[in-house]
A = this chain, B = another copy of it.
Amino acid sequence: MYDDPSTMGKTEANYQPLTPLRFLERSATTFPGHPAYQYGGSVTVSYLQLYDRTRQLASALSQLGVGYGSTVSVMLNNTPQMLESHYGVPMTGGVLHSINTRLDAPTIAYMLEHCEASIVMVDTEFSDVMSAAIDLLVANGAPAPTVIDVVDDVAAADSGVPLIGSRTGSMEYEALVATGEASYEWVGNIKDEWQAISLNYTSGTTGRPKGVVYHHRGAYLLAMGNVVDATIGKHPKYLWTLPMFHCNGWCFPWSISIEAGTHVCLRKTEAEAIFRELSQRGVTHLCGAPVVMSMLINAPDEVKPPLPLANPVDFLTAAAPPPAPVLAAMETMGFLVTHVSAVYL
């Protein structure tokens, strides 16, 4: 007789933990030269380059002591560094904590203390509020985390200022990445698919923020579910209008790698920039709350490209269903709107 079914399954030899980090490894192997992300007028990074950079980031963080049980907090816009953090931080075995960029210092201080962040990566735009938060943290007797400045040279050049905000950290992000090795071996750091990959806190609700932990298994499954549910085909071009700090951008930082798509990073979710990216880059998908639809509909005519858009763009929205006039206006502009709600598979 063949062995009892109850013993046919999980073994040390055949167990490969589900983790969305594998998606990047696969696209870097299968489509190494395909653009993984684009940003501003000049930045294009291929899948192989992204895989190398994220392994470098993981290697550099691990040299700073980050690993299983560690938390790295980030307060970033939808820039390439935020995308890279979604891979590089969990590759260490540690947990990515994304901070809503609209929060105030006391709330941030509470989170940093609660999650015992050892490293904080902060866009220089938010250095002041982060400094205030760390001051509160230290005043409360907690150790100060190491601060890494994320300097957005691309946006600084666009806006004509040498530096947005101010530098307060001990090291700059690119310098940190440069200390890491692309040969870093991360696979062994994910021993169990139920291991935490990210930590997000509630905000805007009553009382203290409450932490929500994603495990690698859940992030893998939701990332796959997004591709299936949104019918995302090969090589999508995804515009980052939904904040990655919000529920890890619904897991799209990982979903897009499944199909070797191109992330179009976007520092600010503003109508003019969105329309520019849509018309110039051939974007195929974006996500956003209903308020983003209203922003697009009500944008001044001079920032709108000729409508309808040349190619249909899938717009995924969630929360309360949008009113019929909003849907109609979106369709007139050339968007295919899909409203998603909680579904379990």
A residues neighboring B (CB under 8 Å): 1-2, 4-6, 8-10, 16, 18, 22-23, 26, 68-69, 95, 114-116, 192-196, 199, 211, 213, 215, 217, 221, 224, 227-228, 231, 233-234, 258-259, 343-345
Contacts and interface: CB of A to CB of B under 8 A. Distances in A.
B228 A231 contact: no
Nearest to A255: B228
A23 B345 contact: yes
Contacts of A6: 68-69, 192, 195
Contacts of A199: 2
A211 B16 contact: no
Contact of A1 (B68, B114, B231): B114
A296 to B, nearest CB: 25
A192 B345 CA distance: 16
Nearest to A199: B2
Given A231-B233, A231-B234, A344 B16 contact: yes
A30 to B, nearest CB: 8
B116 A8 contact: no
A333 B288 CA distance: 41
B9 A215 contact: yes
A95 B8 CA distance: 12
Contacts of A26: 343, 345
Q: Pick from A221, A224, A228 the residue with the most CB of B within 10 Å.
A: A228
Contact of A228 (B2, B10, B16, B224): B224
A5 B196 contact: yes
Contact of A69 (B5, B22, B221, B231): B5
B9 A192 contact: yes
Contacts of A215: 8-9
A11 B18 CA distance: 17
A183 to B, nearest CB: 21
A221 B5 CA distance: 19
Contacts of A23: 345
A114 B1 CA distance: 5
Nearest to A215: B9
Nearest to A11: B194
A116 B1 contact: yes
Contacts of A344: 16
A19 B266 CA distance: 38
Contact of A5 (B4, B18, B213): B213
A256 to B, nearest CB: 12
Closest 8 CB pairs of A and B: A9-B194, A5-B196, A231-B233, A10-B194, A8-B213, A9-B215, A2-B211, A8-B196
Nearest to A16: B344
Given A231-B234, A233-B233, 15 more contacts: A1-B115, A2-B115, A2-B199, A5-B68, A5-B69, A6-B68, A8-B196, A8-B215, A9-B192, A9-B196, A10-B194, A18-B221, A224-B228, A228-B258, A228-B259
Contacts of A18: 221
A269 B124 CA distance: 64
24 contacts: A1-B114, A1-B116, A2-B199, A4-B69, A5-B68, A5-B95, A5-B195, A5-B196, A6-B192, A8-B196, A8-B213, A9-B192, A9-B193, A9-B194, A9-B195, A9-B215, A9-B217, A10-B194, A16-B344, A23-B345, A26-B343, A228-B228, A228-B259, A231-B233
